Amino acid sequence: MISRIDSLAYLKAAGLVAVATLPAVIMVVLTPLESVSAIYMLPGLVAAVWYGTGPAVAAALLGAVMTSLFYPPLFSVMVVRPSQIVDLIISLIVALTIGRLAGQLRAQMLRVREEERRVRQLYDLSSEIAGAGDVAAIYDVVAAHMAEALEREVVLFAAGDGQPWHAIGRPTLAVPAATLAEAALSFAERRGQPGSPDVAVADLPAGGRWLLCGLGRPGPLQAVLAVAMGGDSHDPSGEIVARARSILEEGARSLERLGLTRALEERQLRQRTDALRDILMESVSHELRTPLASILGSASVLSTAPAVSAEPRLSDLSKAIASEAGRLDRRIQNLLDVTRIRAGALQPRFDEIDPADIVNGALDSTAERLSGRKVTLALARDLPFVRVDPVLIEQALINILENAAKFAPGDAPIAISAGVHDGRLAIAVHDEGPGLDRHEAEQIFERFHRGERHADIAGGSGLGLAIAKTFVEANGGSIEPLSEGPGKGTTMRLWLPLAVQRVGESDDD
Ligand code: ADP
């Protein structure tokens, strides 16, 4: 059946033939030329280009009838000459050939236009997404765009704002929302499995056919777009699926970019926070040192005053003040050193030193803390010298020993060992305390971090290990926490560079 648009094209083709009649009449009247068939070929040609093969053939046939009007006897259609037949055949061949070529050209042009429209839509999509600040906004933009580009109803499903999986921004739905949500959810779950597709078709018993498209990485943040397919037959490589895929890809790229931007922003924020902390720590430390110096001086003057030294209780008190103030002063000094090392203002004073001296120095400084506890020392024979700043490394070891004493039960032994492994010196401090799980082991070196499980066991500031790490790393070494798990004790291992590299050396402790 010829549609309305088609019949209009036939009418227009007839119109073209009518228009051609005017020059034909003029030609016959004013010139001695007999044949006007060339003039009537033109409507067929134009109709072929503009309206396609059918109207062109109609124009050619009508042109042939009109041509016969101009053969003598003029204006009679009853005359049929061989030349007329030849004209008609030529007209038909021209109409068919040009019609076919023009048809192909038109189809190609439509394809190009369609392609251009899609590229423009994708461009609009990416610029809209660029303005979206978070994942939810990107999902909304992609859903709206998909609905516009595919000219279909699109329902967005995602979990958000503490709510479970639900349809977003669709107050009215032709199908029961729960049925569609269920289909979307089970598709989202399937997406997590390797090799599963990012697009699938769901036939809902009471809700027709839906194309389900996964957006974002499979996981709790992903979204599913359900595109209403109506009565469309399922063809996974079809037009709609291909277009849905290109929109999804654009969305996925933006989500990826957003993730990277987030990570960068978080890193910058952390760096700024660290820098602020450094400034704060430095200024507070400076402020504290002056009154502390007076307390230290006064305490030592007091302890030597005859009235105080004659009274044992007062003498002990003044000594305690001096010792605690001394400890506080060392801690503040450590904090200042950390901020200066981080700022590059303090360089370690390297020396070649016997590791046993470092271990013994640290044990002397923590003697009070370790008193009454069994401490075993297993240093390998002929330990090679290390090239480090002894003050910094001794302080790092003091912090580790203090932690072992602090977190392990009072009667649990502490084992210290040292030996060479893989061309480096390892000093290990083992305690039988609460141990560390993997997550805890990753966090203990962060400044001000205090393990939740350990905070009740002993007090602290969460700075000891951060300081130790900074000192050891400034010396070209590293600290490694080892534990078989909660309740199974902890070994803190310091790795230090040897003074003279001993190639091929292996475990000798
Ligand atoms: P603080 O001891 O002041 O809490 P640290 O920086 O020295 O701060 O230690 C940080 C955290 O690392 C501690 O709060 C604890 O959770 C954990 N930790 C450190 N040493 C040990 C250890 N020997 N055994 C178990 N946990 C430890």
Kindly give the number of the ligand 1 atom that is closest to the alpha carbon of 462. Answer: 8
Our mutation pick for probing the ligand 1 site, out of 334, 366, 403, counting the most ligand atoms within 8 A of Cβ, is 403
* Cα–ligand 1 centroid distance for 490 (angstroms): 10
pLDDT tens digits, one per residue of 445-468: 998 888 888 888 887 888 899 999
Average pLDDT over residues 414-442: 94
At 144, give phi and psi (nearest 5°). Answer: -65, -40
* Cα–ligand 1 centroid distance for 320 (angstroms): 26
Residue nearest to atom 23 of ligand 1 (CA): 404
CA-to-CA separations, 385 to 64, 83, 217, 363, in angstroms, rounded: 112, 116, 53, 19
Kindly give the number of the ligand 1 atom that is closest to the alpha carbon of 451. Answer: 16
**Model pTM score:** 0.51
**What is the rounded distance in angstroms from the CA atom of residue 190 to the CA atom of residue 15?**
61
**Contact partners, residue 441, CB within 8 Å, separation at least 6:** 481, 483
Q: Which sign does the torsion angle of CA 136, 139, 144, 147 carry?
A: negative
Q: Is 34 helix (H, G, I), strand (E, B) or coil?
A: coil
**What is the rounded distance in angstroms from the CA atom of residue 153 to the CA atom of residue 483?**
56
Residue 235 has pLDDT above 60, yes or no: no
Number of H-type helices and E-type strands within the chain: 15, 12
Select from 421, 427, 416 the least CA-distant residue to 388: 427
* Cα–ligand 1 centroid distance for 450 (angstroms): 6
Tokens of 147: 């609905």
- In terms of Cβ atoms closer than 10 Å to its own Cβ (0-12, 13-18, 19+), residue 504 is exposed
Average pLDDT over residues 278-296: 82
Q: Is 424 helix (H, G, I), strand (E, B) or coil?
A: strand
pLDDT tens digits, one per residue of 44-102: 888 888 888 888 888 888 888 887 777 666 666 555 667 777 777 887 887 788 778 88
Cα Rg of the chain (Å, integer):
45
CA-to-CA separations, 227 to 17, 150, 205, 208, 245, in angstroms, rounded: 48, 9, 16, 11, 12
Q: Are 374 and 383 in contact (CB under 8 A)?
A: no
User: Is 431 near ligand 1, meaning CB less than 6 Å away?
Assistant: yes
* Cα–ligand 1 centroid distance for 330 (angstroms): 19
* Cα–ligand 1 centroid distance for 452 (angstroms): 10
* Cα–ligand 1 centroid distance for 208 (angstroms): 60
Which one has a higher pLDDT value, 323 or 434?
434
User: Is 454 near ligand 1, meaning CB less than 6 Å away?
Assistant: yes
**What is the rounded distance in angstroms from the CA atom of residue 374 to the CA atom of residue 401?**
13
**Contact partners, residue 376, CB within 8 Å, separation at least 6:** 413, 414, 415, 416
**Contact partners, residue 192, CB within 8 Å, separation at least 6:** 218, 219
Q: Is 362 helix (H, G, I), strand (E, B) or coil?
A: helix
Report strand pairing: 375-379 vs 414-421. parallel
Which one of 19-33, 188-202, 292-306 scores highest in mean pLDDT?
292-306
> Looking at the chain, how many residues does it have?
509
Residue 163 has pLDDT above 80, yes or no: no
Residue 505 has pLDDT above 60, yes or no: no
Residue keyed to tokens 């040609």: 45
Neighbours of 311 (CB within 10 A): 13
User: Is 334 near ligand 1, meaning CB less than 6 Å away?
Assistant: no
* Cα–ligand 1 centroid distance for 290 (angstroms): 29
Kindly give the number of the ligand 1 atom that is closest to the alpha carbon of 467. Answer: 6
Element (H, E) at 428: strand 424-431
Instruction: Please report, rounded to a whole number, the percentage of residues in the chain having pLDDT higher than 90.
Output: 23
User: Is 460 near ligand 1, meaning CB less than 6 Å away?
Assistant: yes
Residue nearest to atom 3 of ligand 1 (CA): 460
Report strand pairing: 208-215 vs 414-421. unpaired
Farthest CA pair distance, the chain:
155
Our mutation pick for probing the ligand 1 site, out of 334, 407, 442, counting the most ligand atoms within 8 A of Cβ, is 407
Residue 504 has pLDDT above 70, yes or no: no
* Cα–ligand 1 centroid distance for 383 (angstroms): 29
Banded model confidence at residue 507, pLDDT cuts 50, 70, 90: very low
Select from 453, 412, 447, 411 the least CA-distant residue to 429: 412
Residue nearest to atom 2 of ligand 1 (CA): 460
Residue 226 has pLDDT above 90, yes or no: no
Which one of 147-156, 223-232, 394-403 scores highest in mean pLDDT?
394-403
